[in-house]
Structure 1
């Protein structure tokens, strides 16, 4: 779902389907009837619903603000209407999120370690509604847009039943003084406040100033990883520059369902993108984001 400008990954991305992703899409009545298939024959995965605690946006505003003050020097949190995500800098196909929000948690890290399940092939029929639409821009490298509905390993999907303007929590913060990235900072604040109640948030945020560390997944190895250290060293790390658009899903608590506690991907007009880790310029970093809570989680193929 990203345009990548690193030359050495172009062939790898052409040779395999996209991997883990965190995207916004529009829900239809049959959205989960056939979310996964094998390449040559359909195969259903066990799917169940995890009911979450959905605080009001007014309550979330207070909890998020308290969390951010522990990590940033300058903080402003208000309630507002979700911006039009079809316009720059977002350029998504849907114009907003937040109404009757659900999260689909598909697969997980268990597909990567201790056994590498690269044979699993998930397919979301409505992925055309979720494709992040980038404008075409010149680049010193060849660009590749991936818009296949198929993916491997995992997905963390924020699904709004009714697209369009909705009330969300609007965050502005700058000058990081703590050790956490933006979504993890908010997630830890939610965990402290709500304890063993699962509160799941989805959102879009902008890295307006500064730089960040991201990773991109290369080709699969020929055999399973022996240790988690091998997994970590397998990722290809890059430093990318603002402005970045980041899509994120995170949970305050895992009720025993192997949830990916925080997952964020980013993209940009200047061809940078990947899995967001953290900003690397705390003194100058600046963020703006929009978040709201989900009503439930669809857990697909827990592993």
Structure 2
């Protein structure tokens, strides 16, 4: 059972919405510090439902919002198994129909049977669901990765989620291309540091979208099943997670913000990726800097909706 949507607090806040051209210029100014080849432009969104992105709707436009649900304190030090949320309820809270949701979260452990990663990718229109979400889990004595697509009637996530919600309409987006990493920041970190420097703590800017790792490999984690012992720091988190090197092409979805939103207690960046060759997980960074190649499409959100913010919070487990 998912939580009754009337049983948890919801906060809504307007975001600062800079022009796409301004954000593109921020990205254009910072990426050359981290990549040898960079191209940033404003374009009409391609059809993201087609290969290579394979998303559940075509575009990123139409009342764009960031949604943050729950948070790491519901997972760590010990799991709160009651924190399960139905994305159909999230769409209603956001007042969006259609509701195209992409992003990073924990998958529905009541359905899968164990803790798992969720690469959220679904469209809800007039209560009809087109579910393209993948989950990945650690399985067996050899701890191999198992990936599966959720069915249309399974629309839950658990514990935490960072989602970009829109009506899936076509429109202008920021196209970001970067090749051959020369710095020490991952792709999203480089972009986020740019808007953090530009807008700082005074203006909360939220961005969501999708990027493709076209070439190369990436270090990504999949959560093992819930720990029976309390995990109280990042060292413990890293020992609990199972890390894999995953191969391109990888399609990543998620969000990032210019700051933590003060009392909103936001996770400032969070992306999960999936492939068509049986890999999916939480993106950390590429492991092949000499030949890595990224292509991303991003848009700026107008509002953030904070759902079921943990009362007792902490800062570990947010990498």
Could you say whether these structures have the same fold, taking a TM-score greater than 0.5 normalized by the shorter chain as the test? yes
Q: 1:153 offset after TM fit, Å?
A: 1.5
1:188–1:42 Cα change, 3 Å: closer
Q: Residue 161 of structure 2: which of 155, 173, 197 is its match?
A: 155
- The alignment status of 1:80 with 2:86, answered yes or no, reads no
Secondary structure, counterpart of 2:7 in structure 1:
coil
Of residues 45, 53, 73, the one that matches 2:16 is 53
Question: Aligned pair 1:171/2:134, yes or no?
Answer: no
Aligned to 2:94: none
SS at match of 2:82: coil
Q: Say whether 1:206 aligns with 2:169.
A: no
Q: Indicate yes or no: 2:58 matched with 1:91.
A: no
Rate the CA distance shift 1:230–1:288 in 2: closer, same or farther, 3 A.
Answer: same
Deviation, structure 1 residue 142? 7.3
> How many angstroms does 1:128 deviate by?
5.4
Q: For residue 99 of structure 1, give the secondary structure of its aligned residue in structure 2.
A: coil
Aligned-residue offset at 1:240: 0.6
What is the deviation of 1:93? 2.1
Query: Residue 282 of structure 2 corresponds to which residue in structure 1?
Result: 275
State the SS of the aligned residue for 1:152: strand
Give runs of aligned pairs for residues 194-273 of structure 1, distance below 5 A.
Answer: 194-196=199-201, 197-256=203-262, 257-273=264-280
**Within 1, Cα distance between the matches of 2:302 and 2:285?**
28
Query: CA shift at 1:246, angstroms?
Result: 0.8
Higher strand proportion (structure 1 or 2): 2
Conserved in 1, the CA contact under 8 Å of 2:45 and 2:173? yes
Residue 31 of structure 1: aligned partner: none
Distance 2:165 2:73 in 1: 23
Is contact 1:116–1:223 with CA below 8 Å preserved after alignment?
no
Q: Are 1:144 and 2:107 matched, yes or no?
A: no
Measure, in 1, the Cα distance between the counterparts of 2:13 and 2:65: 10
* In structure 2, C-alpha distance between the alignment counterparts of 1:255 and 1:145, rounded to whole Å: 33
Deviations 1:38-59 (A, max 9, x none): 3xx6652100112211111111
SS in 1 for 2:150: coil
Gaps of 5+ in 1: 1-35, 135-139
Q: Residue 91 of structure 1 contacts residue 133 of structure 1 at CA under 8 Å; is this kept in 2?
A: no
Q: Tell me the distance in 1 between the aligned counterparts of 2:241 and 2:48.
A: 30
Distance 1:142 1:300 in 2: 29
Cα contact 2:69–2:307 (8 A) shared by 1: yes
Mapped contact 1:113–1:228 kept (Cα < 8 A): no
Deviation by residue 1:8-52 (Cα, 9 ceiling, x = unmatched): xxxxxxxxxxxxxxxxxxxxxxxxxxxx933xx665210011221
- Give TM-score, length-normalised by structure 2: 0.76
Superposed CA RMSD in Å reads 2.2
Q: Paired residues, what number?
A: 260
Aligned to 2:192: 187
Q: Does 1:107 align with 2:112?
A: no
Residue 83 of structure 1 aligns to a residue whose secondary structure is coil
- Mapped to 2, the partners of 1:282 and 1:142 lie a distance apart of 27
The answer on whether the counterparts of 1:37 and 1:43 sit within 8 Å (CA) in structure 2 is no
| CA shift in 2, pair 1:183/1:42, >3 Å | closer
CA distance in 2 between counterparts of 1:252 and 1:131 reads 30
Q: What displacement does 1:287 show?
A: 0.6
Q: Give unpaired runs (5+ residues) of structure 2.
A: 92-121, 125-129, 135-143, 311-319
The offset of 1:105, in angstroms, is 0.5
Q: Could you tell me the TM-score, scaled by structure 1's length?
A: 0.80
- Structure 1 178/259 Cα, relative in aligned 2: closer, same or farther at 3 Å? same
C-alpha displacement at 1:143, in angstroms? Answer: 5.4
Per-residue CA deviation, residues 242-262 of structure 1 (Å, 9 max, x unaligned), is: 111111200111122211110
Alpha-carbon distance between aligned partners in 1 of 2:6 and 2:240, rounded to the nearest angstrom = 29
